[in-house]
C-alpha cells in the first residue's frame, strides 16, 4: 500500500523567510513523487517531480525538493518566500498503478 | 507542456437537473482521464478513471448512475451529474495522462465549481 503524509496542514512564514513543507511517503516500489500547487478555485499546477534521475530536484518559481530514501521524505523548500507563494501545496506519489496518492495538503500563508 | 481544459469553469443549477462537465486534452491524446472531487480545504478525491472507448472505472462509494462518465474520443471526457442535489455541490477537477508515460504524471484541468440550489 502507498501513502503520503504531509506534516502541518497550515504553515505560515514571513515574506523573505525560508519555506519548508514536509512530505513523507510509504511505498513498496520505487516511488515517483510530485509537488503540485493549487491557487484558490484553480486546478493543480506541477511544481516539480522526482523520477529517480537526481535526488535534488529543482522546480518552477524557485522551489526545490530533495528525495531522501533513508528518511522516506521529499520535503519542498524555497529560500525566500514571496506573497505570491500563498497557496495550497500537495505532495503526490505514484507507483506501479496509474492512480495518484495525494497528501492531505499544506496551506502556505505568507505574511508581511 | 500538456494542457487540459475544462468547461464550464463554474455552473449553478437547480436541484433535480443534470449538469455536464467537459474535460479536454488540448495538445495531446489521452487514452486515460481522471475525475476528482474536492471539498473545501480538503485534498482531491478520485471519483473515477475514464478510459477511451470503454466503461469508466469508479472508486468505491461513487454512484456510477449519478456520475455518468463518457470518454468518446482521445481528447474529450465528460462527467454528467444527474439529478443533482445540494450535496453534489463541489469543485470537480479532471486530469489526463500521456499514454506510455513512465511516471504516470497527470496534467490537471482548471476545475469546475458546481453549485446546486
| Contact yes or no for A44 and B6 at CB 8 A | no
Q: What is the per-residue pLDDT for B41?
A: 84
Q: What is the per-residue pLDDT for A97?
A: 63
Q: What is the per-residue pLDDT for B104?
A: 82
pLDDT in tens, chain B (117 residues): 789 999 999 999 999 999 999 999 999 999 899 999 999 888 999 999 998 888 899 999 999 999 999 998 999 999 999 999 999 999 999 999 888 888 888 999 999 999 999
Which three-class secondary structure state does DSSP give residue A29?
coil
Q: How confident is the model at residue A30 (pLDDT cuts 50, 70, 90)?
A: confident
Positive/negative CA dihedral, B59, B65, B67, B68: positive
Chain B residues touching residue A94 (CB < 8 angstroms): 103-105
Where do we find the cell 443533482? Answer: B84
Where do we find the cell 455541490? Answer: B89
**Any CB–CB contact under 8 A between A32 and chain B?**
yes
| Contact yes or no for A41 and B103 at CB 8 A | no
Q: What is the per-residue pLDDT for A96?
A: 62
| Contact yes or no for B103 and A103 at CB 8 A | no
**Any CB–CB contact under 8 A between B91 and chain A?**
yes
Residue A1, pLDDT above cutoff 90? no
Q: What is the per-residue pLDDT for B99?
A: 84
Q: What is the per-residue pLDDT for A45?
A: 94
**Any CB–CB contact under 8 A between A22 and chain B?**
no
| Contact yes or no for B93 and A43 at CB 8 A | yes
- Listed by number, the residues of chain B in 51-90 with a beta carbon closer than 8 Å to a beta carbon of chain A are none
Indicate the residue of B97, B103, B113 with minimum beta-carbon distance to A51: B103
Nearest-angstrom CA–CA distance, B87 and B117? 10
pLDDT in tens, A44-66: 999 999 988 889 999 999 999 99
**Any CB–CB contact under 8 A between B25 and chain A?**
no
| Contact yes or no for A44 and B97 at CB 8 A | no
| Contact yes or no for B103 and A102 at CB 8 A | no
**Any CB–CB contact under 8 A between A102 and chain B?**
yes
pLDDT in tens, A59-111: 999 999 999 999 999 999 999 999 999 999 999 998 666 788 999 999 999 99
Please, is A35 exposed, middle or buried when counting C-beta atoms within 10 Å of its C-beta (0-12, 13-18, 19+)? buried
Give exposure, B47-85, as e/b (b: 16+ Cβ within 10 Å). bbbbbbeeebbbeeebeeeebbbebeebbbbbbebeebe
Indicate the residue of B34, B41, B103 with minimum beta-carbon distance to A32: B103
Amino acid at each position: 500500500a502507498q501513502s503520503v503524509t504531509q506534516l502541518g496542514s497550515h504553515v505560515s512564514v514571513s515574506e523573505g523567510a525560508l519555506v519548508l513543507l514536509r512530505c513523507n511517503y510509504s511505498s513498496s516500489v520505487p516511488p515517483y513523487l510530485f509537488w503540485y500547487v493549487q491557487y484558490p478555485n484553480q486546478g493543480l499546477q506541477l511544481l516539480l517531480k522526482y523520477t529517480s534521475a537526481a535526488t535534488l530536484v529543482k522546480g518552477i518559481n524557485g522551489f526545490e525538493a530533495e528525495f531522501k530514501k533513508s528518511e522516506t521524505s521529499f520535503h519542498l523548500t524555497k529560500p525566500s518566500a514571496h506573497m505570491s507563494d500563498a497557496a495550497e501545496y500537495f505532495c503526490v506519489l505514484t507507483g506501479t498503478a496509474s492512480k495518484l496518492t495525494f497528501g492531505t495538503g499544506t496551506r502556505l500563508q505568507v505574511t508581511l | 507542456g500538456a494542457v487540459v481544459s475544462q468547461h464550464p469553469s463554474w455552473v449553478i443549477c437547480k436541484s433535480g437537473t443534470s449538469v455536464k462537465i467537459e474535460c479536454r486534452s488540448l495538445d495531446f491524446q489521452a487514452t486515460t482521464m481522471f475525475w476528482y472531487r474536492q471539498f473545501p480545504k480538503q485534498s482531491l478525491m478520485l471519483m473515477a478513471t475514464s478510459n477511451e472507448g470503454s466503461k469508466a472505472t469508479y472508486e468505491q462509494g461513487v454512484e456510477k448512475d449519478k456520475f455518468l462518465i463518457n470518454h468518446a474520443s482521445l481528447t474529450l471526457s465528460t462527467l454528467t451529474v444527474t439529478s443533482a442535489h445540494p450535496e453534489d455541490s463541489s469543485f470537480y477537477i479532471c486530469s489526463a495522462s500521456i499514454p506510455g508515460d513512465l511516471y504516470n504524471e497527470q496534467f490537471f484541468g482548471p476545475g469546475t465549481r458546481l453549485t446546486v440550489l
